[in-house]
Amino acid sequence: MKQFIAIIFFLTGSLLNLQAQTIPEPPDPPKLVNDYSNILNANEENNLESYLVAFARETSTQIVVVIIDELETSISDFAFKLGEKWGVGQGEKNNGAVIILKPKKGNERGQVFVATGYGLEHLIPDAIANRDIVDGEMIPHFKKDDYYGGLAAGIQVIMDLASEEYTASEYQERAKKSSGGGSAFFLLFLLFFVIIPLLSGRRRRAYSPGRSLPFWIAMGMMGSNRSSHSGSFGNFSLGGGSFGSGGFGGFGGGSFGGGGAGGSW
């Protein structure tokens, strides 16, 4: 009997160890965008990384993107365990979010999950994460194999909600009222705040040579059909001259309590 119990404990421990091995080690050096599937090109990955780093520096909220080919457990379980293992967010605030993306390949369905730390659960309710961020913003892009656009659209809403640019209910109202008028606004903004200053030789920090166009402008140029929040990216300060230099400093040890939502296509 004792031998039988010992075998059970051994097998249980082995299974737990095997499950733990499916969670990759934190990146070294630390990164917020981790594409193990290589579905993003270098510019796309760098753009996402730069803006997530800038957002983390300004707000202390850390949003991690992990793209993988295979899952040995449920995507939600993988997201929560990765968030805990890596310590995404700040320990005293638990203000981390993890986006796990498994691209669609062959006959396998694509999957995505957004996990929120304890400190973000009241700002990003599960219903909003499911219906609006995942189903409304991300998956429409993913169905077209536009993984960059889908991640960008979802990240935009997460950032705005996390920094309290608007509440979850206000986001829903904006989404309902969105219309084609946003395109005209975008063109006017692009003309007066980007093209004219560039032609007149004004050197603005956000548009200095060698840097990519601001993230939301790049998304607009890609023809992204997002809600009325599309132009709000960049409302936070980029932290002065630190943007784009020094990389991501590391994770702070945040905890996850099971908040979040996902979907498939």
Cβ neighbours of 29 (radius 10 Å): 9
Residue 131: the pLDDT is 92
Tokens coding 85: 């293992």
pLDDT higher than 80, residue 3: no
pLDDT band at 12 (very low <50, low <70, confident <90, very high): low
pLDDT of residue 197: 62
Q: What is the pLDDT of residue 187?
A: 64
Highest-pLDDT range among 14-23, 192-201, 215-224, 228-237 = 192-201
Higher pLDDT, 156 or 7: 156
Residue pointed to by tokens 């409304």: 136
3-state secondary structure 23-40: CCCCCCCCCCEEECCCCC
Q: Which of 7-21, 147-161, 247-261 is predicted least confidently?
A: 7-21
Residues 135 and 85: their CA atoms lie apart, in Å, by 27
Percent of the residues in the chain that have a pLDDT greater than 70, as a whole number: 62
- Nearest alpha carbon to residue 113 among 73, 146, 85, 149: 73
| Domain residue spans of the chain | 27-179
Give the integer Cα–Cα distance in Å for 69 and 208: 36
Residue 177's pLDDT band (cuts 50, 70, 90): low
Q: Specify the CATH number for 27-179; select among 3.10.310.50, 3.40.50.10860, 3.40.50.2300, 1.20.1110.10.
A: 3.10.310.50
pLDDT tens-place string over residues 125-145: 999 999 999 999 999 999 999
Query: In the prediction, which pLDDT does 137 show?
Result: 96
Which of 84-93, 156-165, 238-247 is the least confident region?
238-247
Q: Is the pLDDT score of 224 beyond 70? A: no
